[in-house]
Amino acid sequence: MDEIFYWPSIASSIASRIDTLFNVLNAIAVFFILLIVGCLIYFVVKYRRGTNADRSNPPDENLYVEVAWTGIPILICLGLFGFSTWTYLQVMRAPKDAMPVYVVGKQWMWKIQHPQGRWENNELHVPLGQDIQLIMTSEDVIHSFFVPAFRVKQDVVPGRYSTLWFKPTKLGEFHLFCAEYCGTKHSGMVGTIYVMKPEDYQRWLHSGNAGGTMAQQGEQLFRELGCGGCHGPGANVRAPLLDGIYNNPVPLQTPDGSTKVIIGDERYIHDSIVNPEQEVAAGYKPIMPSFRGQLDESKIRLLIEYIKSLGTANSGRSGGLKEGVPPSAPQSPNAPLASPPKERPATTPLAGATNDVNVRTPGQ
């Protein structure tokens, strides 16, 4: 459906679907308002006191009318349910090859970084026609990322990741709003989305403040924080190697001693840094110190990009935490193993390593 005068421009692939849903809902509402108010006025006029309308034999039942006023609303509601569910799934499910961009909400600004390293505040540059997936979290309170021209809005919540995807279909500048009251300057938490030609975007991406890709910056941070002291291949503390955990099944311990398998996504990596005691890899001791309060979200996302760069489900380097599972560890029967477990490098002392724990505290 085309643009309607009271709406912002239609600038993403899903915008017109949202508008169609909205138009259909509006049309149904307007139809029934006219129908009901029309009947009301007609009968009020026709049967007003003093008219000589036929008032004999008023009907007090009519099966056809009853079936109609039950059946038609049911069909309309089921139709709307199907249509809105279909639309919702289109909006919520990002295409597999969507380009990730990281967003952190903070009182009162948006801190955005592209995997290639370039970062920006209260601005988001994106290439035309490319599926973009925002990976978002907050450093303080709940914010909401809202781009009216794209018809997308998603809460940004501290302590967890939420995502949002869109495909810009129109060049230009579009408003970005925070759509959740988040404090004194909530109304000033606004920004601009720049939709650029892909070649302009590439030029923009490689100018300015990049300073290495996010993965490279994350690797440096990983070294500065001494993470490799435990997670490196030659470490003398027994901690899981991080190669290939991204997007692969990760077996976790549960209180009853069984193993639960989850996917090593951004959320898992993030939570393992700030709340390492909550999800402990099967076969390992809960000895990792928490980095809660010591790393802000803009730094954690660098570490995540670095760990992602160590291999994914598609890269053939999979293996993940599985090498840490002792042979006796119970495996969930429906745990999908992406690849046979690989051996930990022979240089790594395994036996007794957990008794000889020498945990580095961050900053050392």
Binding residues for ligand CUA (CB under 6 A)? 105, 108, 143, 178, 180-182, 186, 189
For the CB of residue 142, give the shortest distance to ligand CUA in the complex, in Å. 8
Alpha helices in 166-319 (DSSP H): 198-205, 214-224, 228-231, 266-274, 297-309
Alpha helices in the chain (DSSP H): 15-46, 63-92, 198-205, 214-224, 228-231, 266-274, 297-309
Of 88 and 181, which CB lies nearer to ligand CUA in the complex structure? 181
The whole-angstrom separation of Cα 247 and Cα 338 is 10
Of 158 and 341, which CB lies nearer to ligand CUA in the complex structure? 158
For the CB of residue 188, give the shortest distance to ligand CUA in the complex, in Å. 9
For the CB of residue 265, give the shortest distance to ligand CUA in the complex, in Å. 25
33 and 106 Cβ atoms separated by less than 8 Å:
no
Of 297 and 305, which CB lies nearer to ligand CUA in the complex structure? 297
Cis peptide before 108 (omega within 30 of 0): yes
For the CB of residue 166, give the shortest distance to ligand CUA in the complex, in Å. 19
Which backbone phi and psi does 252 adopt, to 5 degrees? Answer: -120, 155
Of 178 and 313, which CB lies nearer to ligand CUA in the complex structure? 178
The whole-angstrom separation of Cα 319 and Cα 245 is 7
For the CB of residue 124, give the shortest distance to ligand CUA in the complex, in Å. 15
Of 13 and 144, which CB lies nearer to ligand CUA in the complex structure? 144
For the CB of residue 175, give the shortest distance to ligand CUA in the complex, in Å. 14
Alpha helices in 225-296 (DSSP H): 228-231, 266-274
- Among 143, 185, 189, smallest CA distance to 162 is for 143
The whole-angstrom distance between residue 299's C-alpha and the CA centroid of its chain comes to 18
Of 105 and 168, which CB lies nearer to ligand CUA in the complex structure? 105
The whole-angstrom separation of Cα 249 and Cα 245 is 7
